[in-house]
A = this chain, B = another copy of it.
Amino acid sequence: MDVPTVKTGTRSRDPERTRAQLMEAALTEFGDHGFHGARVDRITKAVGCNARLLYHYFSSKEKLYIAALEHIFTDIRAQERQLELERLPPRAAMERLVGFTFDFFDSNPLFVKIARNENLLEGRYIVQTEAVRASSLPLMDAITQILEQGYREGAFAHRYDPLQLYVTIVAISAHHLNNGHTFSVIFGVDLLSPEWRAERRRHAIAFVMNALDAAPAQS
């Protein structure tokens, strides 16, 4: 990152840096190629360290992948906690929640990619990690609260199951990122361009608000 990694000869000793660099490179590599497509060789080359070090720190390609998985999934939690919706009225809270969810996926392509690959592998590794299971997510709690209050106050006309609604919000926010390449070819429109994504954001918020029947939202 900071030191431009001396090509030949000796590499200065700094276990923390080396470990962190390997993790960083692993996230990119696994994100770009998936578990099977990833090459330990490329990872160590990207870091500029000897191939043996990867095994020194992570034992095997598989263990490295699992570490990367845990790393990125625990990382979300921190971001989620930054969102504070308690004080906002239901409609404003919901708009902010959808916007936040959208922005999260939009600005964390690595998360999107690694999650996709883990699903390709049928969750083989994520089921093994303890760190990921959380009986209730902050965002889920927030949704449940917002809906409750919205129904009570008459801000929302329709009732939805919180989990169904959350899956829907994520779906609308992330599907074009997950399937952008195939969709773009089929429709002849680049769903991954900044312009399309910006318009998608507006659509996402409007669509969800309309489905809740929050009067002021339009289009």
CA distance A116 to B117 in the complex (A): 9
Chain B contacts for A36, CB-based, 8 A: 33-34, 36-37
- Which 9 residue pairs across A and B have the least CB separation, nearest first? A123-B181, A171-B175, A36-B37, A36-B36, A211-B211, A171-B171, A164-B203, A210-B211, A119-B181
Asked if A146 is an interface residue, CB under 8 A from chain B, the answer is no
Across-interface contacts of A175 in B (CB, < 8 A) = 167-168, 170-171, 174-175, 178
CB-based nearest B residue for A185: B126
**7 A-B pairs (CB sep. < 8 Å):** A34-B117, A37-B37, A116-B119, A168-B207, A170-B179, A175-B175, A213-B213
Stretch binding the partner chain, chosen from A17-25, A48-56, A88-96, A131-139: A131-139
